[in-house]
């Protein structure tokens, strides 16, 4: 299954971003940063510790808001599916993508339910594509989320990927977490040299993902 998070060319994205960023950074915009999303984790919150060959990133997950989406990541991590995988697709000022544990090239993976399975999108307007947002990659088809995820790199976010009110069930991408620590690592990965297919020339390894509950 081909899991790409967009069908735009990079040039088209940059042109579109130049227009959308004017909206996304406006303090009065409905796309303003959510305090719920960006606040530090509190007692009882679920966090993911993503250890990579470039360092460690920590992300707060939102199982109480998007339970199915968050649970899929938690279970895949606890199954060890992300250990020794890589970030196979990197676009500076956009996002870094990984989680393909079967093929490693963006065409594989599956949900925590087992081989050949996927899950549906799950949206909430309080969760948006801010810098550091952790979200599911998929195809344009409904219920096509497997195991591949991405982390938004751009300082102004990538809000054109958000689900719009009254749009279709597969229009937009599911945000289920938010990086709160390790932004220099995100920058280092996003700044990696890549080939014409956005694959890093130097393999960037996800050594493992540990799930913890804040006590």
Q: Which residues contact 208 (CB under 8 A, 6 or more apart)?
A: 51, 80, 82, 83, 84
CA-nearest of 163, 160, 164 to 175 is 163
DSSP one-letter code for 143: T
Mean predicted confidence (pLDDT) in 12-37: 46
Mean predicted confidence (pLDDT) in 113-129: 97
Distance, in Å, from the CA atom of 199 to the CA atom of 192, rounded to the nearest integer, reads 9
∠57-125-128 over CA atoms, to 5°?
A: 30
Mean predicted confidence (pLDDT) in 149-172: 95
**Domains of the chain with bracketed CATH:** 10-31+43-213 (2.40.100.10)
User: What is the reported pLDDT for 34?
Assistant: 62
In this prediction, what percent of the chain has a pLDDT beyond 70?
A: 84
Between 168 and 14, the higher pLDDT residue: 168
Q: Which residues contact 156 (CB under 8 A, 6 or more apart)?
A: 17, 21, 24, 25, 131
Look at residue 2 and tell me whether its pLDDT is greater than 60: no
Mean predicted confidence (pLDDT) in 148-177: 95
Look at residue 184 and tell me whether its pLDDT is greater than 70: yes
Distance, in Å, from the CA atom of 109 to the CA atom of 44, rounded to the nearest integer, reads 30
Look at residue 24 and tell me whether its pLDDT is greater than 60: no
Look at residue 20 and tell me whether its pLDDT is greater than 50: no
In this prediction, what percent of the chain has a pLDDT beyond 90?
A: 80
Between 162 and 32, the higher pLDDT residue: 162
User: What is the reported pLDDT for 35?
Assistant: 87
Distance, in Å, from the CA atom of 70 to the CA atom of 119, rounded to the nearest integer, reads 11
Condensed to tens digits (0 to 9), the pLDDT of residues 53-108 reads 999 999 999 999 999 999 999 999 999 999 999 999 999 999 999 999 999 999 99
User: What is the reported pLDDT for 7?
Assistant: 37
Whole-model pTM: value is: 0.86
Specify the DSSP element, H or E, that contains 188.
helix 183-190
């Amino acid at each position: 299954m081909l899991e790409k998070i967009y069908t735009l060319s990079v040039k088209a994205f940059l042109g579109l971003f130049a227009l959308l960023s004017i909206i996304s950074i406006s303090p009065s915009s409905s796309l303003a940063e959510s305090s719920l999303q960006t606040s530090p984790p509190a007692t009882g919150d679920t966090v993911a510790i993503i250890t990579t060959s470039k360092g460690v990133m920590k992300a707060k997950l939102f199982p109480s808001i998007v339970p199915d989406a968050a649970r899929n990541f938690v279970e895949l991590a606890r199954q060890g599916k992300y250990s020794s995988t890589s970030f196979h697709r990197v676009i500076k000022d956009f996002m870094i993508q990984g989680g393909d544990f079967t093929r490693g090239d963006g065409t594989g993976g599956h949900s925590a339910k087992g081989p050949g399975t996927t899950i549906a999108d799950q949206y909430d307007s309080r969760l948006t594509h801010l810098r550091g947002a952790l979200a599911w990659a998929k195809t344009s088809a409904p219920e096509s989320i497997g195991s591949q995820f991405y982390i938004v790199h751009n300082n102004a976010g990538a809000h054109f990927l958000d689900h719009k009110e009254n749009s279709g069930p597969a229009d937009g991408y599911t945000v289920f977490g938010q990086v709160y620590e390790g932004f220099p690592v995100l920058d280092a990965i996003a700044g990696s040299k890549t080939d014409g297919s956005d694959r890093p020339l130097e393999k960037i390894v996800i050594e493992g993902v540990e799930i913890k509950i804040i006590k």
